[in-house]
């Protein structure tokens, strides 16, 4: 998807989960769009070093990798602090993108499993916003994009943790959108859409999956438009409309029930 690249010219951006997948694609698209500087933060040291070196070869000192465990608030605070030093005391864009597509049957999950999921998929973004909002208020504005998932609108069996964490993040994001609107801070939730990334693990990637670059372009178009909800593909947009619409209740129930029954047989259906 084409988008207005001029919007990002000269901007300072931080992307968590930035050493692979959609985060890396977002960072590279921002650099192509003449963002002044981009920080990619990740817990995977090997990937971080490799991708920072690759991007530096192409874009020079406009890219910096910072090792960060986003489940730890002190490390997120340090990420923001180091980013401000690198980016001349300004952060225009924060992409809270780090996350995992947790799976597992509800009956087999304990409190530790749930705490792990919320730490990465929910609290990491909360920590990021808490750390960067005072910076954005002081500088007169900014923009935050939190990566959710279409599963927030179509919760599926075997993915209760993933659905719950992303639905919670979506609600937090949209509540804060209006809480900080008059501070000139734009806050959006973005779904990646069905995208070929490492989130699939050893499972087969659906034939309909788009590339990370395609997802990133669509997300950035939504950033330009300050969309409340940014949909990474058409199926996510359709799902958000249909899932809670009583007119589609029977069809949605049947679809999600079929998915659940197939997954109980060991088939990771969608």
Q: How many CB atoms lie within 10 A of CB 242?
A: 16
State how far the alpha carbon of 72 is from the alpha carbons of 39, 122, 184, in Å.
18, 12, 28
The sign one gets for the Cα dihedral 209, 210, 216, 220 is negative
Q: Output the DSSP codes for 189-233.
A: EE---SB-SGGGTTSPPPTT-B-HHHHHHHHHHHHHHT-SEE-SS
CA distances from 251 to 38, 210, 237 (A): 44, 25, 17
- Catalytic annotation, residues: 162
Through-space distance between the first and last CA atoms of the chain, rounded to whole angstroms: 24
Q: Which residues are CB-contacts of 233 (< 8 A; sequence separation ≥ 6)?
A: 191, 193, 194, 195, 210, 215, 218
Distance CA 258, CA 111 (A): 28
Q: State how far the Cα of 94 lies from the Cα of 16, in Å rounded to an integer.
A: 8
DSSP secondary structure code for residue 102 in this structure:
-
């Amino acid at each position: 998807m084409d988008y207005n690249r001029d919007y990002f010219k000269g901007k300072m951006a931080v992307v968590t989960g930035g050493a692979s997948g959609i985060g890396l694609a977002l960072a590279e698209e921002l650099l192509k769009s003449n963002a002044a500087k981009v920080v990619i933060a990740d817990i995977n040291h090997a990937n971080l070093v490799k991708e920072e070196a690759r991007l530096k070869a192409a874009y020079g000192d406009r890219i910096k990798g910072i090792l960060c465990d986003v489940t730890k608030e002190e490390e997120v605070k340090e990420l923001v602090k180091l980013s401000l030093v690198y980016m001349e005391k300004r952060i225009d864009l924060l992409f809270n993108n780090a996350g995992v597509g947790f799976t597992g049957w509800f009956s087999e999950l304990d409190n530790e499993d749930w705490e792990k999921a919320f730490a990465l998929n929910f609290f990491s973004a909360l920590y990021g916003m808490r750390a960067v909002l005072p910076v954005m208020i002081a500088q007169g504005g900014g923009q935050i994009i939190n990566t959710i998932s279409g599963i927030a609108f179509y919760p599926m069996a075997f993915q209760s943790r993933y659905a719950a964490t992303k639905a919670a993040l979506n609600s937090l994001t949209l509540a804060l959108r209006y809480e900080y609107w008059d501070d000139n801070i734009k806050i959006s939730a973005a779904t990646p859409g069905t995208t070929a990334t490492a989130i699939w693990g050893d499972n087969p990637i659906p034939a309909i999956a788009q590339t990370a670059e395609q997802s990133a372009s669509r997300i950035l178009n939504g950033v330009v438009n300050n969309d409340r909800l940014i949909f990474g593909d058409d199926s996510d947009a359709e799902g958000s409309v249909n899932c809670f619409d009583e007119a589609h209740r029977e069809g949605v129930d049947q679809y999600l029930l079929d998915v659940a029954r197939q997954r109980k047989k060991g088939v990771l259906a969608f």
